[in-house]
C-alpha cells in the first residue's frame, strides 16, 4: 500500500524538510523499510500576510511538496494516527492518506490491548483491513503486533505525519529575520515600503548606506530605518515619542506614488532611450507589487534619482528664459523666488536642506540651509533675503547663483 500527501510550505522551510526526510530515511534503511520519497515543485505562488501593527503587506513564496511512503501492514493491521493527550482532548497526527474517526478526538488514554486506562504521552490508533480500530499504548504495541519493530515504525510514521504541522505552518516572525536569513525569501508591499522611505527622508533626511558607514552609524541608513519601521517587533519596542517622530503623512504616500509612477513611465522604456544598469535595475524592481528585502536598498535610492530628474526637468521648463548670474559676491539681496526642488540630507550637524529656485526672469538660484527658521516646500513662492556666495555653472552648463544666509523677508 502506498500513501502520499501534498502540501505547501514556505520556501525557507524547504531545506529543513529535506533534512528531516533524510533523517527518517536513515531509520527506514536501518530497519529495512521502504524509503520515503520527497518530491518538491517549483517556488510559484505568492502568499500575503497583512501585519496588524504596521499595516504592511508581507509577501512570501511557497513550494508544493509531495511525500510518498510505502505503508507496511502487520498481520492485517496498519497504523492510522498518533494521539497526544492534553487534558481531556487529544492532538491527532494522522498518517498521510489516512482519516480518523471523530471519537478519537476525546477518547480516553486507554490501551485496548492491556485494558489499562492511565495517562500516556502517546497512544497509537491502528485499523484492520476488516474495518476494526484499536487504540494501543506504546509499551504494548510490539506485543500487540507480535514484534516486527512496530514501535520504531510507529515513531517513523508519526514523524511523517508531523511534517506538515512542523514545516507547512507560517511563523510570522520568520518574515522579519535578518538580512542573511529569511528576508531573502520574502518581500514587502512596494507602495507601503516606498511611503515609509518617504517618511524617513522627510523627518531625518536622506542617508545612504555608504555615508552611514563612513560616519560610523552602521545600520541607520534610510533603507535600513525604513525596513525597521516595517517590522512589527521593532515598532512595538519604540517609545511613544519615536512613533510620533516617524508618524506617516499624506505627502509621504503622494511622494512614493509619484516616484513609482515615474519608474514605470516611458522614461525607463529601453526602447525610448539607453538605460544604465542602475536605471534598468530600478525599473525592474518596481514591475511587481512587492519587492524582496534584498532590493530595498536600491528602491530607497530611487528618491534621490527622482529628485535629480525633477531638477533637470525644472531646468528644461525654464529653457525659454536663459539663466544669468544675479548680484555681486557677498551682496545681500531681496528676492522673490519660486522653489523648484527641495532635498534633505543628514550631516554632521543634523539635517540640512538643499533648495533649487528661480525668479521671474528664469535665473537659477541654489542654497544649502541648516537650521529651523527657514523651511519651504516645492512650488512655494517665497520672499527672502540672502547673500550671494558665488556664481557657477551647473552640470548642464546653466549659470546659477549660489546663496547663503537665506531668511524670510517681510
Q: Tens-of-pLDDT digits for all 410 residues of the chain?
A: 445 577 788 877 888 889 999 998 998 888 888 888 889 888 776 666 666 556 667 777 788 888 887 777 777 888 888 888 887 888 887 776 777 888 888 888 889 889 888 877 788 898 888 889 999 988 888 888 876 677 777 778 777 777 777 777 665 556 655 443 444 456 778 898 999 999 999 998 888 877 777 766 666 788 888 888 887 778 888 888 888 888 889 999 999 999 999 999 888 888 767 778 888 888 888 887 888 777 888 899 999 889 888 887 776 666 656 788 999 999 999 999 999 999 888 766 677 889 999 998 889 999 999 887 888 888 899 999 999 999 987 766 678 899 999 999 87
The reply to whether 321 falls in a domain is: no
Could you tell me if 231 and 347 lie in one domain?
A: no
DSSP H helix total and E strand total for the chain: 12, 15
Could you tell me if 284 and 398 lie in one domain?
A: no
Cell of 26: 536513515
Of 349, 342, 341, 400, nearest in space to 370 by CA = 349
Structural domain count of the chain: 4
Could you tell me if 22 and 143 lie in one domain?
A: no
Could you tell me if 229 and 337 lie in one domain?
A: no
Could you tell me if 170 and 32 lie in one domain?
A: yes
DSSP designation for 71: P
Could you tell me if 307 and 368 lie in one domain?
A: no
Could you tell me if 346 and 232 lie in one domain?
A: no
Could you tell me if 306 and 339 lie in one domain?
A: no
The 3-state DSSP class for residue 232 equals: helix
Asked if residues 290 and 46 have their Cβ atoms less than 8 Å apart, the reply is: yes
Could you tell me if 196 and 305 lie in one domain?
A: yes
Q: How far is it, in rounded angstroms, from Cα 356 to Cα 168? A: 54
Could you tell me if 287 and 203 lie in one domain?
A: yes
CA angle 329, 332, 334 (to 5 degrees): 125
The reply to whether 181 falls in a domain is: no
DSSP designation for 267: G
* Domain boundary pick from 281, 316, 351: 316
The reply to whether 298 falls in a domain is: yes
Q: How far is it, in rounded angstroms, from Cα 273 to Cα 266? A: 9
Q: How far is it, in rounded angstroms, from Cα 278 to Cα 40? A: 35
Residue 288 belongs to domain spanning: 186-316
The 3-state DSSP class for residue 8 equals: strand
The reply to whether 324 falls in a domain is: no
Q: How far is it, in rounded angstroms, from Cα 218 to Cα 223? A: 12
Stated pTM of the model: 0.55
The reply to whether 350 falls in a domain is: yes
Amino acid at each position: 500500500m502506498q500513501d502520499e500527501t501534498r502540501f505547501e510550505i514556505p520556501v525557507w522551510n524547504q531545506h529543513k524538510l529535506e533534512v528531516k526526510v533524510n533523517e527518517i530515511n536513515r531509520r527506514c534503511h536501518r530497519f529495512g523499510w521502504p524509503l520515503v520519497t520527497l518530491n518538491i515543485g517549483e517556488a510559484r505562488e505568492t502568499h500575503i500576510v497583512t501585519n496588524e501593527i504596521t499595516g504592511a503587506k508581507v509577501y512570501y513564496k511557497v513550494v508544493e511538496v509531495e511525500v510518498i511512503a510505502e505503508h507496511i501492514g502487520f498481520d492485517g493491521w496498519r497504523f492510522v494516527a498518533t494521539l497526544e493527550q492534553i487534558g481531556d482532548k487529544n492532538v491527532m497526527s494522522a498518517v498521510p492518506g489516512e482519516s480518523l474517526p471523530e471519537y478519537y478526538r476525546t477518547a480516553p488514554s486507554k490501551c485496548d490491548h492491556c485494558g489499562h486506562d492511565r495517562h500516556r504521552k502517546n497512544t497509537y490508533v491502528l485499523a484492520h483491513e476488516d474495518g476494526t480500530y484499536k487504540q494501543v499504548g506504546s509499551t504494548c504495541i510490539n506485543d500487540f503486533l507480535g514484534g516486527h519493530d512496530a514501535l520504531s515504525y510507529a515513531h517513523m510514521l508519526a514523524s511523517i505525519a508531523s511534517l506538515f504541522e512542523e514545516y507547512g505552518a507560517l511563523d510570522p516572525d520568520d518574515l522579519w529575520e535578518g538580512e542573511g536569513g529569511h528576508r531573502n525569501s520574502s518581500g514587502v508591499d512596494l507602495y507601503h515600503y516606498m511611503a515609509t522611505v518617504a517618511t524617513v527622508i522627510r523627518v531625518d533626511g536622506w542617508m545612504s548606506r555608504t555615508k552611514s558607514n563612513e560616519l560610523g552609524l552602521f545600520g541607520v541608513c534610510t533603507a535600513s530605518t525604513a525596513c525597521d519601521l516595517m517590522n512589527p517587533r521593532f515598532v512595538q519596542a519604540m517609545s511613544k515619542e519615536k512613533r510620533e517622530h516617524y508618524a506617516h503623512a499624506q505627502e509621504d504616500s503622494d511622494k512614493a506614488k509619484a516616484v513609482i509612477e515615474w519608474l514605470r513611465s516611458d522614461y525607463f522604456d529601453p526602447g525610448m532611450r539607453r538605460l544604465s544598469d542602475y536605471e534598468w535595475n530600478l525599473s525592474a524592481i518596481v514591475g511587481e507589487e512587492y519587492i524582496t528585502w534584498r532590493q530595498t536598498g536600491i528602491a530607497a535610492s530611487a528618491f534621490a534619482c527622482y529628485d535629480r530628474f525633477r531638477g533637470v526637468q525644472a531646468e528644461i521648463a525654464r529653457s525659454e528664459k536663459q539663466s544669468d548670474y544675479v548680484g555681486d559676491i557677498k551682496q545681500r539681496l531681496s528676492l522673490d523666488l519660486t522653489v523648484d526642488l527641495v532635498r534633505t540630507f543628514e550631516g554632521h550637524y543634523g539635517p540640512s536642506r538643499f533648495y533649487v529656485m528661480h525668479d521671474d526672469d528664469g535665473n537659477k538660484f541654489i542654497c544649502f540651509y541648516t537650521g529651523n527658521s527657514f523651511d519651504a516646500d516645492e512650488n512655494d513662492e517665497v520672499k527672502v533675503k540672502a547673500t550671494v556666495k558665488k556664481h557657477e555653472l551647473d552640470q548642464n552648463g546653466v549659470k546659477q547663483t549660489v546663496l547663503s544666509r537665506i531668511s524670510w523677508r517681510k
